[in-house]
Amino acid sequence: MKKLFLTVLAVGLFGYSSMAQAHLELGLNFNSPAGDFGDQYDLGVGFYLEPKYAMNENIDLGLLISSNAFAGGDLSGSTASVSALGMLVIEPTVTYRFSTSSVTPYGGLGIGYYSVEGVEISGFPKGDRESKIGFAPRAGVYVGRLNLGLAYNIVSDFNFLQFNLGVRILSR
């Protein structure tokens, strides 16, 4: 009975300590298309979810799941044409925290899958869907549980600058 109790206690403490290393970030993002992409679309908004696992006190491994929508417009004469582009991002990430204080600058990188689908709104059918591989160097600062971040997503013809406003929940 004593061995069973100690085993259950050890497994419980190990499980608790490993859960303390996992945390979740939720947030909004505001996107500014660049290059040719910026010529067609004006601005984008979206939200993201990023579960993370702390490898140590400075390095987090995560999986960014983000949904973004970009709006564009083309007004010509009496007919108006408004287009939209939806983008789903699934990207493994690594983040390095430069300190462990309450105000913590960080840098990181994500490499992953970008699914892009266009929609024409003025009577045209749904656009084609494209899948791309891209990457996103990123930097920012954590202020308590708040994340103020910046990422530059490099995805062939769909490059964009992204401003993130997120909050960490659960742990860390």
At 67-109, the pLDDT tens digits run: 999 987 554 443 555 678 899 999 999 999 999 888 999 999 9
- 6 falls within a domain: no
Query: Are 110 and 136 in contact, with CB atoms under 8 Å apart?
Result: yes
Residue 78 has a pLDDT of: 36
- Rounded CA gap, 1 and 111, in Å? 50
- 37 falls within a domain: yes
Mean pLDDT value across residues 151-156? 94
Residue 19 has a pLDDT of: 53
Query: Are 167 and 122 in contact, with CB atoms under 8 Å apart?
Result: no
- 120 falls within a domain: yes
Sign of CA dihedral 29, 24, 87, 96: positive
- Residue 35 belongs to what domain range? 22-169
**How much is the mean pLDDT over the chain?**
83
Q: What is the pLDDT of residues 103-126, one digit of tens each?
A: 999 999 999 999 988 776 554 456
Check whether 58 has a pLDDT greater than 70. Answer: yes
- Rounded CA gap, 140 and 103, in Å? 10
- 12 falls within a domain: no
- Rounded CA gap, 11 and 24, in Å? 23
Residue 110 has a pLDDT of: 97
CATH of residue 56: 2.40.160.20
> How many angstroms from the chain centroid is the CA of residue 158?
16
- 7 falls within a domain: no
- 49 falls within a domain: yes
Mean pLDDT value across residues 11-16? 48
Mean pLDDT value across residues 5-13? 49
Indicate the number of domains in the chain.
1
Residue 71 has a pLDDT of: 87
- 119 falls within a domain: yes
- 5 falls within a domain: no
Residue 136 sits at φ, ψ, to 5 deg, of -145, 100
> How many angstroms from the chain centroid is the CA of residue 65?
6
Residue 122 has a pLDDT of: 56
Query: The pTM is what?
Result: 0.79
